Structure 1
């Protein structure tokens, strides 16, 4: 397969100072990078599609590195997630092609991240929104880092496109206080605890 054809990239970073409690001095940063790419499988059923994952790897790594830079460097990143919105000429399985290249790209950009990268996908038209789940990069059970970021673009995906997304955060939810495993107590042995 040829390399992905990118129509546009969007990078967005938000600073969260409070969620109703006392504002914090250093805000939580949530960032997302989205690429709108041509879906080479749109319009008809294709039995063999998994080769496209390899073609997506360079795009994934480039996106991950840009997002790390936008958030201030890899030592700042504590949470991550990924997702895809497939245009209506495609199928949900085309969004699943982003699992490997998106996840490994973030792990590669961050170094030794151990936790599985949470993911979501759907089929939708231009303007569709997607809530991308986020967990801690080294331990999926760190409850303070369970989060999500809504992503989307007004003009994508068109019927023959896929929007692929990466999300990263610099810490826990602001005012996290529901208990559970804390980031400072991570053992880092299995990506869970």
Structure 2
């Protein structure tokens, strides 16, 4: 059983009060949490990685709970995304360990979330930034919720670390006007529409 010792977490909260045009009635909130963990696979090739996803599920649940708290509660959260960043001794496939634990945790805590959790992955050293893609939790075709939140830490990931990230949002982009499926028209049956 691989071990992923946690070095640190950090939470980012963004309240968007203005985007040009009239200010929104309610500011839009986006928040993200990142965690730096030891990469037990750094510096070597390991053929079977998939089982290690289960070992990361508790981390995903803890990060999700803290993120919901940072969002001010579950009410109105309608966007989410995840990302993974491997240090230089890791490989891109190590970031894919986050697909199940990150997505599973947010779906479990947010209840009826149907849409796939958008994801980004890359390899880089300390200070590398990554954009966490955001999409609607029930319908991937809701254009108003296509967005991203950039995160990064100045001291990670170190060569033998992984940075895992989750993000959530409340509401679409301010003044979204690119058409497509509207939130009020979401059926939420298949995760697409």
Q: TM-score range by the shorter chain?
A: over 0.9
The CA deviation at 1:3 is 4.2
* Partner deviation per Cα, 1:29-83 (whole Å, 9 max, x = no partner): 0000000000000011111111210000000011011101110211221100000
The match for 1:183 is: 183
Stretches of structure 2 that go unaligned for 5 or more consecutive residues are none
Instruction: Please identify runs of 4+ aligned residues in structure 1 that moved more than 6 A.
Output: none
The answer to whether structure 1 residue 86 and structure 2 residue 86 are counterparts is yes
Query: Are the aligned partners of 1:18 and 1:175 in contact in 2 as well (CA < 8 Å)?
Result: no
Contact 1:131 1:150 in 2 (8 A): yes
Residue 74 of structure 1 is matched in structure 2 by: 74
1:136 aligns with 2:112: no
Mapped to 2, the partners of 1:66 and 1:100 lie a distance apart of: 18
How far did 1:25 drift? Answer: 2.9
Secondary structure, counterpart of 2:191 in structure 1: coil
- For this pair of structures, how many residues does the alignment match? 193
- The residue correspondences of 1:30-49 to structure 2 (distance < 5 A) are 30-49=30-49
Is the Cα contact below 8 Å between 2:3 and 2:40 reproduced in 1?
no
For residues 83-115 of structure 1, the C-alpha deviation after alignment (integer angstroms, 9 at most, x for no partner) is: 011000000000001001000100011011000
Contact 1:14 1:29 in 2 (8 A): yes
Question: Aligned Cα RMSD in Å?
Answer: 0.8
Whole-angstrom distance in 2 between the partners of 1:48 and 1:143? 37
5+ residue gaps, structure 1: none
Partner of 2:170: 170
What is the distance in 2 between the residues matched to 1:11 and 1:153?
11
Q: Give the TM-score taking structure 2 as reference length.
A: 0.98
1:11 deviation in Å? 0.7
TM, length-normalised to structure 1: 0.98
Q: Cα deviations across residues 6-33 of structure 1 (Å, max 9, x unaligned)?
A: 0000011100012112112311000000
Give secondary structure in 2 for the equivalent of 1:187: coil
Alpha-carbon displacement from aligned partner over 1:137-158 (angstroms, at most 9, x marks no partner)? 0000001000100011011000
The DSSP-based 3-state class of the residue aligned with 2:163 is strand
Q: What SS class does the counterpart of residue 138 from structure 1 fall into?
A: coil
- The aligned residue for residue 152 of structure 2 is 152
